[in-house]
Amino acid sequence: MALRAPPSQECALSIVVEDLSKRFSGFAALKGVSLEARPKEFLALLGPSGSGKTTLLRMIAGLDFPDSGRVLFDGADMTETPAAERRIGFVFQNYALFRHMTVADNIAFGLTVRKRRDRPGKADIARRVTELLDLIQLPEIAARYPAQLSGGQRQRVALARALAVEPQLLLLDEPFGALDAQVRKDLRRWLRQLHETMGLTSVIVTHDQEEALELADRVVVMSQGKIEQVGTPAEVYDSPATAFVSQFVGETNRLPVAVSGGRVAYAGMALAADAGGVSGDGELHFRPHQAEMAEPGEGTLAVRIDAVRPRGGGWRVEATTRDDPRPVEIDLREGQAVPHVGDDTAVRVRASRVYAV
């Protein structure tokens, strides 16, 4: 069934976060974070555990308040406005449905608890629930209880409940965290489609890079309470601004190098690599697909082959550098020459980045 937006839902807003800081009993969870989400944009906050993603989301939601900085919705200062007055839909991993209510009652909950003057009539609420059940593609489950649903169905119902109050903004905190990989993948596609159809502005918190890269228009990479980079999935993957982003988003080989006069050397051997303006100690980063097997010689990296495994129609080669043993992984496409385990051979790095350390 096609997704369909109720006409009243077309009201995405812009969010500006200005220099937000937050401490929890002396610990700085957010350190001067600034960010913008454009109307109808899907942003992903991506980072390791403890990087401040949830703290930032809770401040956008109005569930917590910063020590300093501002949160603006469409230019209006919302920093002190409580969640209930922000017209936001929330979906959290552990935001359980009410077990003793049917799916229909769960979805209707946000409407039925409104003050009498704002509350739609019973018939309007029932119509809205039917619309939302169609939207989440589960029209037949209205009378069931949460225990009678699969995990994926439950999260879709949680989304319908979040959307029932016609939010301008959808905030999701690891919404698919507890589900298995295939269900996550399906729900991801579905969520992206829903976001577009409804014309919402959405922000999702995830520590799963695949989820962030697949869902979001722009990815906000966070570490230790700060933003490392904001960019499209292609930007953060192909042009990581920092060594942290390079190793957190996608797989990266890392080698300590010394740069002198633009010449990059690993374990005293010159490598054919662009120093990128770094001088002194650096770290050379390259993705497994940015290297290939080569004849040992000038500019190549001498390696011994530890393992060769089939992978995605090609091969993943695990090797160790010879001079100062470090693990290196290389992806070979079908048709490329494949080395054997135990070979002493070499790797040519086709593209790489050097970060100062």
Give residues in contact with ligand ATP (CB under 6 A). 24, 27, 29, 47, 49-55, 207
CB atoms within 10 A of CB 310: 10
Residue closer to ligand ATP (CB basis): 244 or 266: 244
Smallest distance from ligand ATP to CB 220, Å: 11
Smallest distance from ligand ATP to CB 27, Å: 6
CA 100 to chain centre: 33
Residue closer to ligand ATP (CB basis): 54 or 352: 54
The answer to whether 32 and 18 have CB atoms below 8 angstroms apart is no
Query: How many CA atoms, within 13 angstroms, populate the side-chain half-sphere of residue 155?
Result: 22
Smallest distance from ligand ATP to CB 88, Å: 17
Smallest distance from ligand ATP to CB 248, Å: 12
Smallest distance from ligand ATP to CB 83, Å: 16
Smallest distance from ligand ATP to CB 19, Å: 17
3-class SS of residue 61: helix
Instruction: Name every residue whose Cβ is closer than 8 Å to that of residue 342 and which is 6 or more positions away in sequence.
Output: 304, 305
Residue closer to ligand ATP (CB basis): 8 or 94: 94
Handedness of CA 50, 216, 139, 165 (dihedral sign): positive
Residue closer to ligand ATP (CB basis): 208 or 329: 208
Distance CA 50, CA 317 (A): 33
Q: How far is CA 68 from CA 20, 55, 229, 258, 279, in A?
A: 6, 13, 21, 41, 37
- Phi then psi for residue 293, to 5 deg, are -75, 150
Residue closer to ligand ATP (CB basis): 194 or 212: 212
Smallest distance from ligand ATP to CB 49, Å: 3
**In one letter, which amino acid is 215?**
L
Residue closer to ligand ATP (CB basis): 51 or 168: 51
Residue closer to ligand ATP (CB basis): 31 or 144: 31
Handedness of CA 113, 114, 115, 116 (dihedral sign): negative
Angle at 136 between CA 132 and CA 137, to 5 degrees: 110
Smallest distance from ligand ATP to CB 224, Å: 9
Angle at 11 between CA 8 and CA 14, to 5 degrees: 170
Angle at 172 between CA 86 and CA 157, to 5 degrees: 95
Residue closer to ligand ATP (CB basis): 54 or 321: 54
Residue with tokens 């298995």: 180
- Cβ-in-10-Å burial (0-12, 13-18, 19+) of 76 comes to exposed
Residue closer to ligand ATP (CB basis): 207 or 353: 207
Smallest distance from ligand ATP to CB 177, Å: 9
